[in-house]
Structure 1
Amino acid sequence: MAAARNSALALVLVLLAGLCALQAWALLRAPEAWSPVAITVRLAAGDSITLGQRELAAPQTDRNHLALRRDANGGWWVRNLSTTRQLVLLRDGSEQRLGATPLQGLQGFQIDGAVFDMHSADARRVSFTRNGHTWLYDGATLYRDGRAQANCPESRLASKALSAWNRAVPLALTIARPLAFGGNLYCDNRLGLEQVTAGAATISRVNSRLQLSAANPDGDRAAVLAGQTDLRRQEAALSGVNAIMVGHTRLQLTASGDQLTMQPSRHVKLYSEPELKLPAQVSWQWQQRTLWSGGNAHAIWIALAVSAAMLAASVIARGAAAARVQGASAGGVAGAQTAAARTTEGATTGGMTKSQVIAARAAQVASARGMAGRQLGGSWAGGVAMVAGVVAAVGMLLAGLVALIAQRSGYAPSAACSLLLGACALLLWLALPGRLTLATGAGVVLLAIGLLAQLELGLGAPESSWLRYYQKSAAMLAIGAGLGGLLRTWAQHQAARGMQLQQRSIEWILALFAAVALAALAAQVLWGDETGVFDLQPVELAKLALTALTAHCLALRFNWHNGPQRLVDHGARWLQLIAPALLFLALLGLALVQVDDFSPLILLLVWSTGMGLAYAIAASNRVLAAVLLSGALLAVGVVAYLRIVGTDDLIRWGFYADRFLVWLNPAEHPHTGQQLLQGARAIGDGGWTGADHWLGLRSLGQSAGNVAQIPAVQDDFAASFFLNRHGLLGGLLLWAVQAAFLIGIVLTAMHAYRKGAGARNFRHAWLGRFRYFTLCGGGAFVLGHFLLSWGTNLAIFPIMGQPMSFLSAGGSHLLFFLCPLLTFCAISSEGV
């Protein structure tokens, strides 16, 4: 058994070392890349110049994006020329969007030929009149002559619910919704205007004040006038402006006489050589991309050094403790055998003398004392190992936090530093106390594969910002490994001392966990969008909370017959057991329905099926298992039927039907099916052995080509990039590791269930069942992510919007779901 465990650990270490070596090799082979560190524009008084994507090295801008000019007094002015992308001016923490203006102080405004007279306007409300009607808008709801307008005919259920909420609650609790001008309908937050395109202008709540903005372009016919200023041709002085945002590129500004210097950061285009033909008034100062140094990484190196030293000390101390305990056991057994042999020999030869009896007893006492002494030494060494492990986990946690904060502040650590950070985090997972399971080993390998794919994409993309996905994942992994290490060490310490949390304390912890997840979801609804809030995805935390709550309720359900026997009491107990999970499921479903994609609902369906099968197995309910399996097979049959036959009748079902039509025949929908077509083309170019015909080994660190242009290639379509780079053979190896991870979770769950089923103590039985259902739920979510992501990339399912676990650059998915799941799996594998 020990040999098998050592062999498994050796295999995982070899795979981990190989994948980390491939990352280092990719860094070594990465070609030189150059970008402008400063862009200088020189203009004489009265001159002007047009700048765009080429002159600003900003990939996500128009060809002619902005106009710069100097007036007769030498002042600098800027105007936005783009009809689809905004230009934002930053002044001492405040933002000014060209094409928008605050409503306070305006006497009126005009949209095409429609003139609106202002009654009043402040930061919270605006009132205006036109054609005898009085309009009031508070940032959330539009009122016509004192009454809120009816919902639009095509409004979805979520939109209607949001509208009802905004009308019922106080203004401070409303959810901001813009007022749109144009179109032919007066409904909801729309104000119809004849001969004006819908959405030609908007009023919305921006930075706690109401602003009028020119929105959908419609040429001169939809000019938006605020006073005498046409917002589509608005010009602003650069005096006092610290920086501007052009597309997604930030340009720091410094003006000096006839010279304006712009320092680009974030999303800067990379060039293979420092040469580019530019207008005579524009000059660049070049800088070379650095992969091995950069950023203020001294704190990260110190934290990693401390963590590595303490990790080595912990491993050595645990080895010494194990050796002493083993020696004590062997010595005690040998002493007992010697004493027994002497006693038997004396009895066989006709009895023992008094001195022989005394000597035998002394030998037994000495053997026992020696065993106790060795155990005491082992306990001391174990304490040292535990303290060193805690310090190592804290050091890893601090290193990850420093790396993440540095990246968010604009001074990201180098790619080499992120490589070492990720490698140390993965090594910490393996070096922590506890036996190595299939789930842990496969999970570590999948994490390493994901880091390699993200590094390849970061090095191969023609932008400076793509490496941030790799750097963020490495920092998140270090944070998750540090927190997981502390939790695993605490759990081991509690188990060694026989200390256990009370049932009531556990339920309060679960309730607090659910409250935090609900608060995070509410924050996303109030201040975020479907991409998250504050650069986080609260849905990932909600998945974990939902699984834990449901597992707790199902674990209590198996102790049903030990409770009250009256029917009335049974009904109350049913509510106690299932109400938290059902409530949380309803709230989570409501939050997910607001996303313009039905993949979250399919994900919940996969999770529900997995939890149902887990319950059916535990309860030996064959009927339920057969029903669930039949439903899954029926769903597969329906998907296959639609894929083969197809139908045009789906078009009448609206938005979701469009997704099916794009999936069934993307060639007939080239715009909406662009993502699917590009992904399929990338997979086809990869073939069986990758685009380089060497499973991606020859293209490590090189350009990614057109694959980097696939929308969301770092997230939803990460599998397309992986198959293009490493081929279908590489994909088969990845599928094998993913299957091993899922099998490992199932094996750990069954181990926990058997422990709970054989326990005589109620708490141990509940804990075993809780671990069983939690692991099954977590594994079901991971399986859902695998199925939906592979189905999207391979055009098996008409689903979009779900990252692939471990492979995609999903920081929230990694930190809030995968790392806790791996930690819980490791704790559960140690027994009950």
Structure 2
Amino acid sequence: MKRIGPIGVCAVSLALLCLVQLACVLRAPAYWLPSRVDISLRPGESVTLGRQELAAPSADAAQLGLRRDVHGDWWVRDATGARPFTLRRDGTDSRSGAIVLAPGQRFQLGMQRFTIDRADARAITLGDGAHRWRYDGGTVSRDGVPQPGCPDARHSQRLVAAWNRHAPAFALIPQPLQLGGNLYCGPKIGVAGTQPASASIRIGRDGPLLATNVAAALAIVTPDGPQDLARLEAPLKDATAITAGRTHFAILATADVLSLRPTSHVALFAQAEVRLPPNVRWTWQRRDPWMVHLPERWSLAAAAALILLLSVAAGLLHASKPLPGRRLEAFALGAAGPAIACTGLAALAAQRLGAAPGVGISLLLAWSALWYALLAPRRFNAVAAAGVLLLAIGLLSQLELGLGAMESSWLRHFQKTAALAALGLGAGFRIAIAPWGRIVPRQRFEAVLLGAAALALLALALQVAVGSETGVFDIQPVEFAKLALAALAAYCLALAFDRDGASAGALLRCLRLLTPAALFVALLAVALVQVDDYSPLVLLLAWANATALAWAFAARQRAVGIALAGVACAAVLGVGALRTAGAAEADRLGFYADRFQVWLDPVAHPHTGRQLLLGAQAIADGGWLGADHLLGLATLGQGAGAVMRVPAVQDDFAPSFFLNRHGLLAALALWLLQALLLTALLREAVCAWLAAAVARDFRQAWFARFRCFALCGGAAFLFGHFLLSWGTNLAIFPVMGQPMSFLSAGGSHLLLFICPLLAFGAARTNPDRS
């Protein structure tokens, strides 16, 4: 009897996971949701739409007041005054409870009135009769003197304030002017009897924008008296979309009937029945896993032609090298990758446009990407095999999460991950199966790396300037920066061991040394300035320690290796000592004191420790065999239950959902698979170093060394993600936010780091002409 090889075992495992995913889709109960909400009002009538009429999830309490005036025009307002809505008109969004300020205008917060003296797109000057303030988007001056820093400001905020005081207008780091509280400091103006940050002013494209942040007494003073800013009506004329709470609606018509089409965060119903006011009507739609939103004919034809053209061109290019008997197979492998990648890109674009394909279509797309990544290398590769199985498990977990929620938008996490996996794996493994034995010239390779570093630094600067800790333009530049950092450092280390290649000039040598250092400092700055968390620092320290350890082994510096291993052990002992010391010692840690105290005693902090407590409860409910006592097989496609209340259960606390659903035994298998991936990456790194030692061509030697150090750096970042994510969910480390690679909802981490790392680890480094 012929033994089943490693590739056969991986293929059988992947097939079983695909069958479980299919069973999850087929066993999902039939749910209904409104595809359109029609509101009929005669001129002069009004209606209030609450959570039920808007089909909003149970956590959303938004209410909209709709009215038709005597001329037949539609108007909308926030009926509660506490849940602002957003209107999209002419491609821009405008929020309720916000108004662009003009000279001479007055507003009142609490009992204090402010008058606008000057206002334009660069600065605003306002006064309350006793003092005058000037705000330019970054700094605040009181009576001509910059306000002092706030006593509770962090070091990063003080650095930003110092920069804004001396930087030119175009280089200011935006800081909103906050109104409320008792402090007159930094970007804050105190208002007696109000909460801190009750209102804010930002310098926008159209001028200073005043917005209410809480249910505060913020009013615009008019000749008819103060008018509550939060309840001001807005016209619906020319508006194309409205967002109430978290539910987004496309506005289809504004004639006698106002038609709203829900596109995201829509509640699901077991039956197509709900009690509605007489002037509100729903058009029901059943959730169909095999639904396809077809675009216009010309768009569909153009997309299909483009995918076909790219796939055929890539297939012909790949089939031009092998022997005649293998050309058909080579053509199929070369054409499949671009086709899968282009289809994934089309699915991602469709999802962004609100026309995502059904979950079954996304599942087929994910299957094609997984099988292509497993079979494209043609020889068994442990990196590709372990990565594909981990990604299949992550897709299963996200599919269960989406189908188990009573809200339509939870499935978008699975659909996005499937599309990004197809894009990343299709494009990455098409490059990976190329004959990497023909090395790109070093100068060109160096230029590509320096360009990637420059792009990463620019993206990080853009995130600090106009983004937030969630990224900029829905992208996390830090993921690409980590990849560029690992590649540049590996290139510098590879050149350090190069004795046969031509030496570069002094300028390039400086760039080789300074660019990784600049990236490291930039990542450090983003972690300190933009992100209120120290987990990125842990990732960077893990990478730096692992890279230095790889250099120590390569250079046979045993003393350095022992010292670095000692540092890692000391860090582990330090965490244990902090756990033993208790909350009194944690209180000395400044900004992170609250997080450490929650970690040490979450029961004593039930509000701030809610995430940790709910996650621990979900893990306890799962036990060894899952909540259903059958490793999750009995609840495939069914409701997720109380675990959905865990905040960020699709991201940082995805392991808690997995443990709750499938139990500790399944988690042990997941741990072993993660360890296998890390081991496979390190094994590939060792093989690359040994290949460099016997290479006869100095170009192949330096590339093999580069591959060795790059794989070590990528494995270090991956290990850091695994360590932090498990440590957060199991309360081993202080609460911090890092997604678990492969298991959490896909995004920039999957596309910009995981897929390139897997493809690079599976790449053939020798020409293959067989």
> Which structure 1 residue ranges, 5 or more long, are not aligned?
322-375
Q: Supply the distance in 1 between the matched residues of 2:532 and 2:330 (Cα, whole angstroms).
A: 48
Question: CA separation of 1:283/1:12 partners in 2, compared to 1, >3 Å: closer, same or farther?
Answer: same
**What SS is found at the alignment partner of 2:239?**
coil
d(CA) in 2 for partners of 1:60 and 1:173?
Answer: 43
Which segment drifts farther, 584-593 or 305-314?
Answer: 305-314
SS at the partner of 2:443? helix
Give 1:80 deviation, angstroms.
1.2
Of 244, 251, 259, which aligns to 1:253? 251
Moved more, 613-622 or 246-255: 246-255
Query: Quick one: structure 1 residues 310 and 570, their matched pair in 2 at CA, closer, same or farther if it must change by over 3 Å?
Result: closer
Q: Which amino acid aligns with 2:349?
A: I
TM-superposed CA distance for 1:114, in Å, is 2.2
Q: Does 1:486 align with 2:430?
A: yes
Number of the residue aligned with 1:554? 493
Match of 2:357 in 1: 413
How much is the aligned-residue C-alpha RMSD, in angstroms? 3.1
Instruction: Choose the corresponding residue for 1:803, options 731, 739, 742.
Output: 739
Partner of 1:9: 7
Question: Partner amino acid for 1:555?
Answer: A
2:409 is equivalent to residue 473 of structure 1: no
Q: How does 1:736-747 map to 2 (within 5 A)?
A: 736-747=672-683
Match of residue 283 from structure 1: 281
Cα offsets for 1:275-294 (capped at 9, x unmatched): 22334443322211110123
Aligned pair partner of 2:472 in 533, 541, 551: 533
| Offset from partner CA, 1:763-821 (integer Å, 9 cap, x none) | 33322221111000000111010010011111111132111111111321111001110
Query: What amino acid does structure 1 have at the position aligned with 2:474?
Result: D
* Matched AA of 1:501: V
Within a 5 Å distance, the mapping from 1:174-323 to structure 2 comes to: 174-207=172-205, 209-218=207-216, 220=217, 223=219, 225=221, 228-253=226-251, 259-296=257-294
Q: What is the CA deviation profile of residues 427-466 of structure 1, one whole-angstrom value per residue up to 9, with x for unaligned ones?
A: 1112324522211111111111111111111111111111
Q: Which residue in the other structure is 2:644 paired with? A: 708
Instruction: Determine whether 1:579 maps to 2:514.
Output: yes
Deviation at 1:63, TM superposition (A): 3.4
- Residues 307 and 396, structure 1, Cα contact 8 Å, conserved in 2: no
* Residue 242 to residue 301, structure 1, CA distance change in 2 (3 Å): closer
1:654 aligns to what SS in structure 2? helix
- Specify the alignment match of 1:588 in structure 2: 523
| Structure 1 residues 134-171: Cα deviation after superposition (integer angstroms, max 9, x where no partner) | 32222222222334322212222221222223233322
Q: Relative to structure 1, is the Cα distance of residues 304 and 741 closer, same or farther in structure 2, using a 3 angstrom cutoff?
A: farther
Q: Distance in 2 between matches of 1:305 and 1:548?
A: 31
Larger radius of gyration: 1
- What is the distance in 1 between the residues matched to 2:688 and 2:644? 44
Find the counterpart in structure 1 of residue 601 from structure 2: 665
- Using the alignment, how far apart are the partners of 2:10 and 2:310 within structure 1? 19
Q: CA deviation at 1:734?
A: 0.7
Report if the CA contact (8 A) 1:198-1:216 is conserved.
no
Deviation at 1:42, TM superposition (A): 4.0
8 Å CA contact 1:180–1:189 kept in 2: the answer is: yes
* Structure 1 residues 27-65: Cα deviation after superposition (integer angstroms, max 9, x where no partner): 110001011122233445554433222221112765362
> Deviations 1:523-549 (Å, cap 9, x if unpaired)?
212221100111111111000000011
Amino acid at match of 2:473: F
Which of 321, 336, 341 is matched with 1:397 structurally?
341
Matches within 5 A, 1:747-762: 747-762=683-698
Distance change >3 Å, CA 54–CA 198, structure 1 → 2: same
On the 8 A contact 1:35/1:289 being kept in 2, the answer is yes
Contact 2:41 2:257 survives alignment (8 Å): yes
| Aligned 8 A contact 1:303 1:399 in 2 | no
Alignment of 1:456-467 (within 5 A): 456-467=400-411
TM-score by length of 1: 0.85
- Secondary structure of the structure 2 residue equivalent to 1:54: coil
Give the percent of matched residue pairs that are identical in Structure 1 and Structure 2: 46
Tell me the CA shift for residue 656 of structure 1.
Answer: 0.7
Could you say which residue in structure 1 is the equivalent of 2:370?
Answer: 426
Between the aligned partners of 1:609 and 1:831, the Cα distance in structure 2 is: 34
Equivalent position SS for 1:783: helix
Amino acid at match of 1:671: H
TM score, norm. by length of structure 2: 0.92
Please say if residues 299 and 402 of structure 1, whose CA atoms lie closer than 8 Å, have aligned partners that are also in contact. no
Secondary structure in 2 aligned to 1:88?
strand
Counterpart residue identity of residue 396, structure 2: L
Give distance in 2, aligned partners of 1:421 and 1:308: 18
Q: CA deviation at 1:634?
A: 2.0
For 1:142 and 1:212, the matched residues in 2 are separated by 15
Query: 1: distance between equivalents of 2:507 and 2:365?
Result: 51
Alignment check: 8 A CA contact 1:756 1:766 kept: yes
1:51 partner amino acid: L
Which residue of the partner structure matches residue 773 of structure 1? 709
CA distance in 2, matches of 1:760, 1:478: 38
- Please list, as runs of the form range in 1=range in 2, the aligned pairs for 1:445-464 lying within 5 A after superposition: 445-464=389-408
| In 2: Cα distance, 1:650 partner to 1:243 partner | 48
CA apart distance, 1:831: 8.7
Cα distance between partner residues in 2 of 1:398 and 1:62: 36
Q: Residues of 2 paired with 1:266 and 1:523: CA distance?
A: 28
Instruction: Judge conservation of contact 1:32–1:272 (CA < 8 Å) in 2.
Output: yes
**Which amino acid counterpart does residue 403 of structure 2 have in structure 1?**
L
Conserved? CA contact 1:598–1:799, under 8 Å:
no
Which stretch has the larger CA shift, 83-92 or 27-36? Answer: 83-92
* 1:78 corresponding residue in structure 2: 76
- 1:501 positional shift: 2.4
Query: 32, 35, 38: which is aligned to 1:34?
Result: 32
Aligned position for 2:50: 52
> What letter corresponds to residue 551 of structure 1 in structure 2?
A
- 2:16 is paired with a residue of what secondary structure? helix
> Paired residue for 1:372?
none
Q: Which secondary structure state, in structure 2, belongs to the residue aligned with residue 55 of structure 1?
A: coil
- Report how many residues are paired: 759
2: CA distance, partners of 1:301 / 1:436: 34
Deviation per CA, 1:620-640: give whole Å up to 9, x if none.
222222222222222222222
Q: What corresponds to 1:116 in structure 2?
A: 114
- In 2, the alpha carbon distance for the partners of 1:35 and 1:576 equals 57
Contact 1:687/1:727, CA 8 A, preserved across alignment: yes
Partner of 2:453: 514
Q: Are the equivalent residues in 1 in contact too, given 2:453–2:515 (CA < 8 A)?
A: no
Q: Indicate how the Cα distance of structure 1 residues 784 and 225 shifts in structure 2: closer, same or farther if over 3 A, else same.
A: farther
Distance, in Å, in 2 between the alignment partners of 1:683 and 1:29 is: 24
CA offsets per residue over residues 286-340 of structure 1, 9 Å max, x none? 21111012322877996999799989999xx99xx9xxxxxxxxxxxxxxxxxxx
Bigger helix fraction: 1
**Counterparts of 2:632 and 2:22, CA distance in 1:** 15
Classify 1:674/1:830 alpha carbon distance in 2 versus 1 (closer, same or farther; 3 Å): farther
3-state SS of 1:506 partner: helix
Deviations 1:90-125 (A, max 9, x none): 223233321111013553322223222222212222
- The correspondence for 2:619, drawn from 683, 686, 703, is 683
Aligned to 1:818: 754
Corresponding residue number in structure 1 for 2:671: 735
Partners of 2:221 and 2:76 in 1: CA distance: 18
In the TM superposition, what whole-angstrom CA distance separates every residue of 1:556-605 from its partner, at most 9, and x where no partner exists? 222479999xxxx9999985653222121111110122201111111111
Q: Hey, what's the Cα distance between the residues in 1 that align with 2:305 and 2:397?
A: 26
Corresponding letter in the other structure for 1:582: A
